[in-house]
Structure 1
């Protein structure tokens, strides 16, 4: 991870023009890329609210439908089954049809299925609907990664990636209290009705407002030049890639792809604890009231939001200060994964306040490690940005399949979450080793297969 603080070396490493010629301080006639990023942020908030809403409804839903811990573990993981399987084809779809159409159709589709979850009558219907939500959400993050890579120069890409990724935490932090209020004031079904309806409306808004750079009439030539000179793949937004299985095989010849896949698996395992079992842990093991859960459950998500934004800001700052892109993108991945092991300390305290503090630090660390999306944007072949995002997300979301089931089995057999935290800590260690020892130097992969 060593590097020399040399501006010229950083420019070469990122494929960007020298900072003096195209620095972030340059005043441009338009800043349309930030408007597009705001759309990505809102879409990601909705994306994750529609993932986490089931964990908020779970204690009420399990009691109403008579579901045990094993069944709830399967329901929690069902989303990730189809999500993981659909990610590679979803990445190809994002490359083939662009972020506008891919994301818009995906958003409206998963939101419609979310509404239908409110009509579930038992394990089978709920499990099937969660499978459907997973399949429909699969194009979202490959489309996110593609949009940031075509709209942002390399020196801004870390922060841009962090801003949209923080949507996965902001939604829970902002809306947990409101969704708990819906579940207790009305019933758990209204949680799905409300979140699904919001998604459908925004899906239509997305189709009207989002554009790729060369299709956007409101972006200036100066801004397009700034993006392209800084390493943004503006022209790639117009390219339509043909699928080739040999290209996927060739991706896995690179250690960077393997390392990011393993690291993403580790950080996603921690993420899925917070997205699924966390409210149940607070209510059943920590014996917190619904009001306290609504307050305490927000804190780790705020911590994770700060973590991902801090990682992006520091990573981009290091590049501007002359450190290599490779060092700047790798540092938060190693630090975040290492700090994530602190989650096991929860097993050594009876204090609810200390427990929440530890979990907030652990999720803060997971937020830092989630800056891996910026690393994906840096190594992805220019013709396969979405597909590379899909491949790495596939590996990540195996953690989304495994973790809820493992935790459900642990709690069912032991009656507590102690071993579950040891499991998450061990996976965080695996991520630390992958990023620190396997990842190596980051650079944009150039495929030979066509």
Structure 2
């Protein structure tokens, strides 16, 4: 294993981080949507119960996000990711032991706790290993890894792995085992960084005081709210789009294909856009471009449904910025060092918490407008994008070019 201070080690650690985010966090979560049909038949679950199980995972992560940041700041990324990955594997595999709605609900809730801790700790790790000029790119690689996990997990879990392994339970056992193996690899090969505080010293701000300080920082609120309005509205559109297109007469294959195009565009666009941000030294420029395209795209979707190519162009354009927006919002949070570098985990947890709350609230409020007009939800989500854009205009640029002028 190369020294932790050389380039080979840093890129090895980044590759392992992206793999953990893909195989221990995102793939075990997203596989459930394609396994639900098989699970519902065996456990006799209704659509409402399946929806409850699906929603309990992000709800669990919301509850744990702020605590995740504090844990990562206190104990360091090596120990935190090792334990989180191990517990993610155990909790994820335990879903395969469920015999009823209640047991599957509980194990799904538990499985949603650890990915939050993993994602925040990995974001903190990039801040330790790489200079600020590369943060957008390296966070883009991790987010892209997660995107690949969602794509691959939804493609192979039900159609390939379940028949091969003998059912959905064994698929979940496999994903749990993969997470445990990755935990062991991380523990054996990742070295603790000497610049990273792993214990509280006399000069360290107490966690409670740091959290109170963070809640008073206007810049963190602006960043968190803009991220929440963007991701909350985009998640809402992703959930509603296939149903909307099918009700307008699109085939199931075409409607689902539009959503797949959005997800694939997000995976492909993540690294180039974050790399561009690093090279031009600007974060806000990319974020605002994403917001403008989303406002226009969401506004056009209700009138574009009669043209297949037009819809695909819109969803691809909107999706291309999704991973980059997530990575760059995290990067801005890291570069700003709210309440000090040692508490970037808490700040990132706050950022993700506000986002998950929006993702929980925006879909049902938008879907309810479909009772008035089936295209009206898109108008509502376009308005949310516009609010996010307005908030973005109040934010300061944190890229290296802006800092070099200060």
Q: Do the structures match in fold with TM over 0.5? A: yes
Return the alpha-carbon distance in structure 2 between the equivalents of residues 317 and 134 of structure 1. 35
1:333 matched to 2:292? The reply is no
| Alignment match, 1:400 | 359
Among 345, 366, 378, the alignment partner of 2:300 is 345
Q: Which runs of 5+ in 2 are unaligned?
A: 401-406
Cα offset, 1:398, TM superposition: 1.0
The question of whether the paired residues in 2 share the 8 Å contact of 1:91 and 1:389 is answered with yes
Return the alpha-carbon distance in structure 2 between the equivalents of residues 379 and 40 of structure 1. 22
Secondary structure, aligned partner of 1:168: helix
| Alignment match, 2:404 | none
Cα offset, 1:305, TM superposition: 2.0
Q: Given the two structures, how large is their TM-score scaled by the length of structure 2?
A: 0.82
Cα offset, 1:423, TM superposition: 4.3
Which of the pair has the greater relative contact order for Cα pairs under 8 Å at 6+ separation? 1
Equivalences for residues 120-269 of structure 1 within 5 A: 120-182=98-160, 185=163, 187-214=167-194, 235-237=195-197, 240=200, 243-269=206-232
* Count of aligned pairs: 384
Segments of 4+ moved more than 6 angstroms: 274-285, 292-295
Return the alpha-carbon distance in structure 2 between the equivalents of residues 330 and 105 of structure 1. 35
Cα offset, 1:150, TM superposition: 0.9
The question of whether the paired residues in 1 share the 8 Å contact of 2:283 and 2:399 is answered with no
Q: Given the two structures, how large is their TM-score scaled by the length of structure 1?
A: 0.75
Can you list the C-alpha shifts for 1:284-343, whole angstroms capped at 9, x where unaligned? 884425xx7886654322211233212211111112xxxxxxxx0211111112222314
| Alignment match, 2:97 | 119
Cα offset, 1:273, TM superposition: 4.5
Return the alpha-carbon distance in structure 2 between the equivalents of residues 204 and 417 of structure 1. 50
1:369 matched to 2:331? The reply is no
Among 428, 432, 441, the alignment partner of 2:389 is 432
| Alignment match, 2:261 | 299
Cα offset, 1:256, TM superposition: 1.3
Among 37, 48, 53, the alignment partner of 2:14 is 37
Cα offset, 1:258, TM superposition: 0.4
Q: Which runs of 5+ in 1 are unaligned?
A: 1-27, 215-234, 320-327, 445-450
Return the alpha-carbon distance in structure 2 between the equivalents of residues 105 and 178 of structure 1. 27
The question of whether the paired residues in 2 share the 8 Å contact of 1:110 and 1:133 is answered with yes
Return the alpha-carbon distance in structure 2 between the equivalents of residues 101 and 271 of structure 1. 34
Equivalences for residues 11-30 of structure 1 within 5 A: 30=7
Return the alpha-carbon distance in structure 1 between the equivalents of residues 170 and 383 of structure 2. 37
Can you list the C-alpha shifts for 1:388-446, whole angstroms capped at 9, x where unaligned? 11111111111333245557x649x8599745544443332222222123x235499xx
| Alignment match, 2:252 | 288
Secondary structure, aligned partner of 1:138: helix
Return the alpha-carbon distance in structure 2 between the equivalents of residues 123 and 274 of structure 1. 28
Return the alpha-carbon distance in structure 2 between the equivalents of residues 119 and 277 of structure 1. 31
Secondary structure, aligned partner of 2:341: coil
Cα offset, 1:172, TM superposition: 2.1
Return the alpha-carbon distance in structure 1 between the equivalents of residues 20 and 146 of structure 2. 10
Cα offset, 1:148, TM superposition: 0.8
Return the alpha-carbon distance in structure 2 between the equivalents of residues 52 and 317 of structure 1. 33
Return the alpha-carbon distance in structure 2 between the equivalents of residues 272 and 205 of structure 1. 33
Secondary structure, aligned partner of 1:145: helix
Return the alpha-carbon distance in structure 1 between the equivalents of residues 345 and 74 of structure 2. 9
Task: Sort the Cα spacing of 1:123 and 1:110 in 2 relative to 1 into closer, same or farther, 3 A.
Answer: same
